[in-house]
Amino acid sequence: MSIYARQKGKTEYQQGFSLIEVLVTMIIVAIGLMGLISLMLKGIQANATSSMRTMAINQAYDMADRMRANLAGVQAGDYSGVVPPGSSSTCPIAATSNVSPPTPTSLAACATNTCASASCSAADLADRDTCVWHNANAVLLPSGSGAICKDNANNWYSIHISWDDSKSGNPDKTFILRFEP
């Protein structure tokens, strides 16, 4: 056997081995890229969840501030048992931890109270506060809704904000703020 024949066989064998190395490398790179894409999608989902939770927290604290600004309405019980218009939820709702979202027609109906005059009563202001709050919940959060319940034994209020984080059409996340005005 000549030297040329051995070298020719060696060269053909090495070319086939290089092709296998390239294919294995491509598979490893493809798996790595799929892992990176999955990681990016999880990050985007976590960011959206965090954004919704931040909006819910802001909405809860917004209502708490509105209640503190209208202590006469709080003392008269105007903020106790507030649920979205058209909702079948009742207080206490802590057991279910979800609030039914309001219907669009009921939100439009409560917007007639502008309470712009100086003769606005504490009850009128409470009605306006809850109307604006319900509208903001519905606009800012997917299937967003809220409720305010009073714990008479401790004189505490709990503000419940629910929204649809999974995009299933039903509220599946709830933030609850308990406070004393």
Do the domain assignments include residue 2? no
Does residue 152 lie within any of the structural domains?
A: yes
Cα distance between residue 83 and residue 148, in whole Å: 7
- Does 32 map to a domain? no
In the chain, the number of structural domains is 1
Question: In this structure, is residue 73 part of a structural domain?
Answer: yes
Give 110 or 153, the one with higher predicted confidence: 153
Of 118 and 65, which is predicted with more confidence? 65
Summarize pLDDT for 55-104 with one digit per residue, the tens.
999 999 999 999 999 999 999 988 988 887 666 666 755 434 455 555 55
Q: What angle do CA 85, 91, 97 make, to 5 degrees?
A: 90
Identify the domain containing residue 150 by its residue range: 52-179
The answer to whether position 80 is within a domain reads yes
Instruction: Compute the average pLDDT of residues 124-148.
Output: 88
**Burial per residue of 97-106, b for 16 or more beta-carbon CB atoms within 10 angstroms, e otherwise:** ebbbbbeeee
Whole-angstrom Cα distance, residue 100 to residue 108? 17
Q: Could you tell me if residue 90 is inside a domain? A: yes
Q: Are 173 and 147 in contact (CB under 8 A)?
A: no
- In 3-state terms the chain splits into helix, strand, coil percentages (rounded to 5) of 55, 15, 30
Residue 108 within any structural domain of the chain:
yes
**Residue 147 belongs to a domain:** yes
Least confidently predicted of 47-51, 74-78, 111-115, 165-169: 111-115
Res 113: pLDDT:
59
Rg (CA), the chain: 30
Between CA 83 and CA 112 the distance in angstroms is: 18
Q: How far is residue 38's CA from residue 36's CA, in Å, rounded to a whole number? A: 5
For residue 155, what is the DSSP state? T
State the Cα–Cα distance between residues 144 and 57, nearest whole angstrom. 12
